[in-house]
Amino acid sequence: MSLPVDAVARLRLIRTESIGPVTYRQLIARFGDAERALAALPDLARRGGRTLAVAPADTAEAELETLGKLGATMIFMGTPAYPALLAATETAPPVLAAHGDLGLLDRPAVAIVGARNASAAGSRFARQLAADLAAADLVVVSGLARGIDAAAHQGALAQGTIAAVAGGVDVPYPPENAPLTADIAAQGLILAEQPPGTQPQARHFPRRNRIIAGLAAGTLVVEGALRSGSLITARLAAEMGREVMAIPGSPLDPRAQGCNQLIREGATLVQSAADVLEALSSFGSGPQLGLRFQAAEPAAAEIALEAGDAAHAEVMALLSPTPVAIDEIVRLSGLPSAAVASVLLDLEIAGRLARHAGGRVALA
């Protein structure tokens, strides 16, 4: 697969400290392309009272070379290879490392997630359900964790599965899933937001979860405790407007409490593959469920307003360590939304702003 001519610049931008997915998009919108955004970063950081070290070109080139040696490639947002449903989400990764069959991104997908300490019955059910859904031409997406995730991948492996991992695309995690990781790279597809060689850390898993939810038209939880990562994935799917489904279980089993709670909150109760197919029917089929598309990046004409000192002071006065909706800042400040976006961008690049779910921001 051919890479964009500015692949190194794009990769440098997203690998620069303080540049997250939202900031990346806004920088491209303001400056038109990655090269101009990189050139502007030092000045933007100084305006926020900080010196910013931009990721060097040789580091980005080395990352691309490493992926090539692994037989993997980069998928950049705004190119035909990037998955359409994921691109439609607010915090979609600007770049993904991909190892395996990119053709799976052309097919409709469903996510199956669940407990790491899964019961034998839960694992068996997840494996069979994944096989049934794959036989119905759905790609099964999961997170390659032990338990339900591993069972779902195993069930769908022969006909199509995608693993979104928390670390590098070349780092099997947990270690006992190394053989399964190799099988998925050979027969399915592995996607990673982190650079190759990255060992997964706690902060990476919620980021991985949003990719799982974003790739699929719906997320099914087989087993999950009330405060599990599986429920985080389900709630992210709901925020994205995707279908949320759950397998009911015994109220005496802590692994069923999360699923039962989701059902109480309106998730679709699932007992078979037919239930999943019925729940996803509202998304249509084929292209509506997951066909790639040309997701154009913001044009230079959409560059945000430059905000002056008065606007910075106005926005800063409304911020605190408690997350607040950006729309609320716009309303209370009386500033144009583009000016507020410009201030928030400056603050984030300076490391003074943290973004939270639901379009909320807070002082870092």
- pLDDT tens figures, 187-199: 999 999 999 999 9
Do 170 and 284 lie in a common domain?
Answer: yes
More confident call, 331 vs 289:
331
Do 222 and 272 lie in a common domain?
Answer: yes
Share of the chain above pLDDT 70, in %: 93
Q: In this model, does residue 241 exceed pLDDT 60?
A: yes
- Phi and psi at residue 95, to the nearest 5°: -145, 145
Last residue of a domain, one of 290, 315, 347: 290
pLDDT of the residue at 178: 97
Do 129 and 244 lie in a common domain?
Answer: yes
- C-alpha 319/C-alpha 22 separation (Å) is 18
Give the pLDDT mean for 215-232. 94
Do 214 and 346 lie in a common domain?
Answer: no
pLDDT of the residue at 214: 96
Beta bridge partners of 100: 189
Provide the domain limits for residue 315. Answer: 304-364
pLDDT of the residue at 284: 55
Q: What is the average pLDDT value for the chain, to the nearest integer?
A: 90
More confident call, 48 vs 222:
222
- Listed in sequence order, the residues at least 6 apart from 148 whose beta carbon sits closer than 8 Å to its beta carbon are 112, 113, 114, 115, 116, 118, 122, 123, 126, 142, 222, 223, 230
Q: In this model, does residue 72 exceed pLDDT 70?
A: yes
Number of neighbours of residue 264 by Cβ within 10 angstroms: 9
The C-alpha angle 101, 76, 135, rounded to 5 degrees, equals 30
**Residue 54 counted as domain residue:** no
No. of helices (H) and no. of strands (E), the chain:
16, 12
The count of domains in the chain is 2
Do 139 and 230 lie in a common domain?
Answer: yes
Q: Which pair of tokens denotes residue 13?
A: 């931008």
What's the whole-model pTM score?
Answer: 0.87
- pLDDT tens figures, 81-118: 999 999 999 899 999 999 999 999 999 999 999 999 99
Give the pLDDT mean for 305-322. 83
Alpha helices in the chain (DSSP H): 7-15, 21-31, 34-47, 57-70, 84-87, 120-135, 148-156, 178-187, 204-215, 229-239, 254-264, 273-280, 287-290, 309-318, 326-333, 337-349
Do 271 and 325 lie in a common domain?
Answer: no
Which CATH number do you get for residue 137?
3.40.50.450
Do 352 and 277 lie in a common domain?
Answer: no
Q: In this model, does residue 307 exceed pLDDT 70?
A: no
127, 155 Cβ separation under 8 angstroms? yes
Q: In this model, does residue 345 exceed pLDDT 90?
A: no
**Residue 268 counted as domain residue:** yes
139-142 and 324-325 strand pairing: unpaired
Share of the chain above pLDDT 90, in %: 71
Do 136 and 279 lie in a common domain?
Answer: yes
Do 265 and 345 lie in a common domain?
Answer: no
pLDDT of the residue at 306: 61
